[in-house]
Amino acid sequence: RPHLDARPRGSARTTPLPSPPLHPTGKKKEMAPSLLRLLAASAALLASPASAFAPSTARSPPFVRTAAKKAPPSAAASNAPLRMSDGGDGSSSSDAPASKTYGKVFVAGGSKGVGRLVIDALLSTGAASEVVALVRSDEAAASLSAVNGVTAIKGDAFVYKDVEGALDGCDAAVTTLGGATDEGGQRVDYVGNNNVIEAAGILGVTRVVLVTSVGCGTSKEAAPPSVFEALKDTLAAKEKAERVLQRYYTNSNWTIIRPGGLKSEKATGTAILTEDPMAIGSIHREDVANLVVKALTSQNTEKKVLSAVDPEITSAANTEGASWEAFALA
């Protein structure tokens, strides 16, 4: 083979790269899949700065994408991925930060519950021009595909590639995943939410709203002991996802929302977000969804952990009628 010094005069000396470290068995050490994905993303960025930020159009075979119907004009007034709203009279308001709206928002957990109501709120308020929803069943995909402005993608939140493929090309992500377990007993409260967080980081989707529960993290003491004991495994999984988002995605503009006890009645309009970790009580799912969308579009919620409760609802967890300072969204 040619000698290393067989090069044109004046060119730099080539030094061979060291081989990967070996395990005691003599086999090359393998890197974790998540690290490999991060290294691959970094390599793409170095190779082509222009194309590294362009959404990929490739889709893996497991994905089934249903084309979105045209959103009503009020929800799709602009093709821009991100818009700033004005003070209402056409001039910029100097009294409060303008709210953001998005071109395309990804929703995980959108087939039912709070996630389904988040989709409705995103479109009805014009906070998003289009919603991409990852769902597991054909029935859920068909139901959501009938909604103007929704693109339903059949996939599994437990599968990272399913999540990444659905999230690719979106401007923001909301995840309300919770409750389900896979065949191995893993909870979607951590695994699914972690997949959304990781995919958002790799794809450059910096706006992420994670919906967990009162009883996680700093709000542990707020939950009644009996409730915490009954939900401790679920709360531990949700809290683990919170820690990942807070500790390892420091460049993300994230918001964590912890609802209290959920009810399925109509919105009251009196629910609040608060930074008080001791806030506890009930809240209707529709109110949670409305607060999630307001938090998504607010410029005040970056890197905030907020509890969501309705102080007007009497509950067993708040028999003394305690109240908490509402967080200013605007």
Mean pLDDT of the 260-288 span? 96
Of 256, 261, 263, 264, the residue nearest 305 (C-alpha): 256
User: Whole-angstrom Cα distance, residue 154 to residue 158?
Assistant: 12
> What token pair was written down for 263?
């009810």
Q: What is the pLDDT of residue 65?
A: 54
Q: What is the pLDDT of residue 121?
A: 98
CA dihedral (110, 112, 116, 117) positive or negative: negative
Quick: pLDDT tens for 95-106.
445 578 999 999
Quick: pLDDT tens for 214-232.
999 999 999 999 999 999 9
- 242-244-247 Cα angle (round to 5): 105
| DSSP-H helix ranges across 138-281 | 138-145, 160-167, 191-203, 225-248
